[in-house]
Structure 1
Amino acid sequence: MLKKIKPKNARSKRALQKREPKTEENVKKAIFIRGSSTSQIVNEALSDLCKLKKPDAINFTKKNNTIHPFDNDTSLNFFCEKNDTSLFVVGSHSKKRPNNLTFIRMFDGQILDMVEVGIENAKSLSEFKTSKCAIGIKPLFLFVGDLFENSQVHKTFKNMLLDFYRGQSVKNINLSGLEHVISVTAIDSSSEQSSDTRAMPGIIYFRVYTTQFKKSGEKTPRIELEEMGPSYNFRIRRFKFANDDVYKLATKVPKVNKPKKIKNIDVNEMGDKIGRIHLGKQDLSKLQTRKMKGLKRIAEDYTEEDLESEELVPLTKKQKA
């Protein structure tokens, strides 16, 4: 760990203040780093995933022999403090775990959680001769599969991908600026026989598409998806979850950002707003009804109080009958 630096001048003090906790987080930066041994598939995967994350990404092209996330986290803590980065992707390759990627999240200078995946059927960004999206555009995410709701490992991996590519928080979205879609599909194939015996059963399909606006004869265009790349099949190998106390602290929402609760107004599970209205006591005797002859009061219906307060209306011949 780096020592806590005391600011010597106003410039260094402003630099340290940028790293302090804030009510609204900055865009999270990510470092894509190579381990002691990598393959061509891993190098291309790190480069392509970095391009999707740009401009908030740093790609280290040199090999690092000290990077072993599951064994020793000293180097990652050093890079986290030095580059003010909380997201890492470490690429490695070995006989035991070929074509390996490790997605890592940091909190307070320490490792929060990690998910290690193996790459299969990789296709790089350059293999797709199609149009590409612009740099810094927020993607649309599509998660398909019950595993993202039922499996804790897949939930964590889903949350990591959203953290990596969520970009800057915005209030308004220009629909024409939604240029690409990241589709992640999880399939539980327990009966499937895989050559990777160390991986969990099931496979995750990672695909990236660009949106094409076609004429539809109406005001709203017809949307078509064209695969942009990269394309990977991931198999989850190893993982490490955060402690409950640390995860609760990492996901704590400041009181300033919490929405103010309005009295007697709630939101149900479907997202509909439900309100409770309190009415005063109603006097039904003063309720205005439809005026018709059958509802007119006759002299026999009047009480003594009515006689004192009102004048009797003479009966007609039909009413007397």
Structure 2
Amino acid sequence: MLNPLATHAGTRRLITAAGTAPSVHNTQPWHFIARHREYIELHADPDRWLKITDPRGRSLHISCGAALFNLRLALRISGHRPLTWSTPATGNDPPTLLATVRPTPAAPASAAEHDLYEAIKARRTNRQPFTDTPVPQAIMDELVAAARMEGAGLVFPRGPGVAALLEEVAAAEESLTGDGRYRAELARWTCGPSHADGVPPYVQGPRPIGDLAPVRDFARATRERARFEDRPRLAVLTTPGDGPADWLRAGQALQRLLLVATVHGLSASFLNQPLDLRDMRRHTDPRHPGGHPQMIIRLGYGPAVPRAPRRPVPELLRAA
């Protein structure tokens, strides 16, 4: 089967899929280099690194990991196996090359893989209120299995654990918004319309009624308010370790489970304020029984929402 990197159209299709991945504040902190029409490199973009909120580069690596999963999936749809070498940045060096992917001939993609690929276009970060319809246990089991396929874990807090986690999120939100550096960095990516990146007002969602908000505030200028679900379904994505390789793995696991959720009609948003605050304070995460938390995810059934803006392929694909 023809290597998709052999043609401009094939390469463009791969980059389009990769660039649709979710990223922290929709910074889309990546670019790609196709070399010799044989393999493609994923690079982090230091100019899009949130150096105040994300001094370790954890969120940057997770974002790029999500793009890497989409790239791998797009190669599978082309009838190839994505042979992948991950080279996450380490130490104090600026993040650059994170992974190299070479397509090798393989059996045709399965129906399940085609479903995931179609979900790339439909997936959204949904900051609207969700219904109180419970997520079936069978779907939660599928999400756990999806994370496990990428070497990560997924934990669903229950009962008092949900309220405790929401309280932790609210406390972290208050601490973050009291930091002027955080507010300035957030404003760069959330204030006003953007043609290609950031979180513009039309995707920020309403302000919640109540104290324990299941969505990030974003210092919204809008005065619209709404009541959110009383018992949000939260999930925590974990990894065995807490280094660059684990973060890149977490991003791939995140995107796989988000696409599985999309196939089942589930919506998702994120409540990572406690993790952001930990990173800003440069605290290391102690080992938890379930692994190191990397993402806090809110899941449920929400309304249709618009997609956040995306950078065009010419901005993402750089010359070798």
Taking structure 2 as the reference length, the TM-score comes to 0.23
> Greater strand share, 1 or 2?
1
Taking structure 1 as the reference length, the TM-score comes to 0.23
Q: Give 1 or 2 for the bigger CA radius of gyration.
A: 1
> Greater helix share, 1 or 2?
2
